[in-house]
Amino acid sequence: DGGITQSPKYLFRKEGQNVTLSCEQNLNHDAMYWYRQDPGQGLRLIYYSQIVNDFQKGDIAEGYSVSREKKESFPLTVTSAQKNPTAFYLCASSIGAGTGGPDQPQHFGDGTRLSIL
Partner 1 sequence: ILNVEQSPQSLHVQEGDSTNFTCSFPSSNFYALHWYRWETAKSPEALFVMTLNGDEKKKGRISATLNTKEGYSYLYIKGSQPEDSATYLCAPYTGRRALTFGSGTRLQVQP
User: Which of 63, 59, 93 shows the shortest CA–CA distance to 76?
Assistant: 63
All residues at 6 or more sequence positions from 56 whose CB lies less than 8 Å from its CB, including other chains: 47, 48, 49, 50
Cβ closest to partner 1, residue 36 vs residue 78 = 36
Cβ closest to partner 1, residue 18 vs residue 99 = 99
Least distance in Å: CB of 67 to partner 1?
Answer: 18
Judged by the rule CB under 8 A, the positions of this chain that interact with partner 1 are 31, 33, 35, 40-45, 48, 50, 56, 58-59, 90, 97, 101-111
User: Which of 103, 107, 86 shows the shortest CA–CA distance to 32?
Assistant: 107
Cβ closest to partner 1, residue 65 vs residue 104 = 104
Least distance in Å: CB of 84 to partner 1?
Answer: 17
How far separated are the first and last CA of the chain, in Å rounded? 35
